[in-house]
Structures are given as structure tokens and as C-alpha cells.
């Protein structure tokens, strides 16, 4: 009888210790938690981590620009099954034309920090993009959100290998003649317009380094 009671208590404790499951988690960090910046050939030694704008693409005279971004995903424990992942960026303006050019989002394979990153100190990244998207849907489409979807395989890799989550870089595949103007995590006027990553699936909650970076759990 005592063994049954003890076993029942043990099972109750173990079940209570199992992390709760979530359907969707939205990561939308602010200035203290966000890691996003841009680098450009116009001033290859300059750091833009504290600026209130993000670019990618480029225009003649301005040179090429690349956007680096990383989300702290420690709010998701290994064992989570990611079925959908979408990066959303709020575009509030544009320079040049984007409609005839394609862009890629690449997994970054080495550490970087937004407060020190420059064009000259860019980390390594994969040669093949995780996703490719067309500038046609971005052309003159502002102010509004733009979604880069199809990131579930990449986000699953980061969740399974948290020590290898160095974020991603967005850059032109070949050629450019335009840059979107995007609000970064430093944007203060309307925090709801900061970059966000929405992850869906059978998600297991972990211990986030900063819960302020997690906008919504258990949706």
C-alpha cells in the first residue's frame, strides 16, 4: 500500500515537471534583448548597431547592405517540433527599386554582436540560403509587414543546437538597386513594429534567458 502511494506521488511530481506545450510562440525582443543590425560597403569599418533602421540590398553610390538578426530561442526546449516559422519585418520606406532582384536568408555559422559588427568583421555563413524571396512583393509596399516564411527547418536546427544559434543574414543573391527601410528592435515609438519571429508546432517550453523577448506563449 505504501509503495502504491509513493509511486502515485512520484508520478504526480514527474508529470508536473514536464514542460508545458505551446502551439505558437512569438519572439519580439526590444533594445535590451534584440540582436539586429546592418553592415554596408559604403563604410566598411562602421558599426550601425545603435541605429533605428535596418537595410538589406543596396543602391549605387550607397553600396551593398546586409541585415543581421538573431533571436534568443532558449524559451523553446530541445524536443520541440517546429512545423512553421515566419520572420516578419516592418518596412516603413524604400530607396530605389527591388522588384527585379532576389534575396536570400542565410544561416550564420559564427558569433557576432550588434554593437561591434562591421562589414569588415562579418562572421561566416552558409553558402546556400535557407530561403530565397523576391523583391517584387516588397516593391513600394510600405508601410506594412513583410513575411519571410519557410524557416521551420532553420529554426528547428537552432532549437536542437542552441549553441549554434548565431542568427541569420539577409543579402542580395546577385545584383541590387534598392533597399527597404525596416524598424529594428531599438525602435521606441511603437514596440509592436519591431522584428518578430513566430514559431508554431509541438513546442516545449524551456528557460528563456530573457522572458521579455517572448511576446506571447501558449496561443
Count of alpha carbons within 13 angstroms of residue 152, beta-carbon side: 11
- Reported as a single tens digit per residue, the pLDDT across 165-206 is 999 999 999 899 999 999 999 999 999 999 999 999 999 988
Instruction: Give the containing element (helix H, strand E) for 180.
Output: strand 178-182
How far, CA to CA in Å, does 162 sit from each of 90, 156, 167, 197?
A: 27, 10, 11, 16
Burial degree of 77 (CB within 10 A; 0-12, 13-18, 19+): middle
Taken as a whole, the chain contains a residue count of 219
**CATH numbers and ranges of domains, the chain:** 19-216 (2.60.120)
* Average of per-residue pLDDT across 80-87: 97
What does the mean pLDDT of the chain come to?
88
Backbone angles phi, psi at 2, to 5 degrees: -60, -40
Spatial distance between the Cα atoms of 85 and 33, rounded to a whole number of angstroms: 20
pLDDT of res. 207: 63
pLDDT of res. 61: 78
Angle at 167 between CA 161 and CA 69, to 5 degrees: 155
Amino acid at each position: 500500500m505504501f509503495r502504491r502511494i509513493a509511486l502515485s506521488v512520484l508520478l504526480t511530481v514527474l508529470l508536473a515537471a514536464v514542460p508545458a506545450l505551446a502551439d505558437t510562440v512569438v519572439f519580439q525582443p526590444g533594445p535590451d534583448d534584440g540582436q539586429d543590425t546592418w553592415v554596408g560597403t559604403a563604410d566598411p569599418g562602421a558599426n550601425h548597431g545603435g541605429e533605428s533602421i535596418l537595410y538589406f540590398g543596396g543602391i549605387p553610390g550607397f553600396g551593398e547592405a546586409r541585415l543581421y538578426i538573431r533571436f534568443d530561442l532558449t524559451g523553446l526546449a530541445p524536443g520541440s517540433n517546429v512545423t512553421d516559422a515566419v520572420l516578419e519585418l516592418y518596412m516603413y520606406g524604400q530607396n530605389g527599386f527591388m522588384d527585379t532582384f532576389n534575396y536570400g536568408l542565410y544561416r550564420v555559422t559564427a558569433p557576432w554582436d550588434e554593437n561591434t559588427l562591421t562589414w569588415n568583421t562579418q562572421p561566416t555563413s552558409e553558402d546556400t540560403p535557407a530561403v530565397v524571396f523576391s523583391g517584387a512583393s516588397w516593391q513600394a509596399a510600405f508601410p506594412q509587414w513583410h513575411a519571410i516564411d519557410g524557416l521551420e527547418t532553420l529554426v528547428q536546427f537552432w532549437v536542437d543546437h542552441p549553441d549554434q544559434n548565431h542568427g541569420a543574414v539577409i543579402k542580395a543573391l546577385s545584383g541590387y538597386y534598392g533597399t527597404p527601410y525596416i524598424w529594428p528592435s531599438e525602435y521606441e515609438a511603437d514596440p509592436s513594429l519591431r522584428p518578430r519571429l513566430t514559431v508554431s508546432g509541438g513546442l516545449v517550453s524551456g528557460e528563456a534567458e530573457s522572458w521579455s523577448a517572448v511576446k506571447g506563449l501558449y496561443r
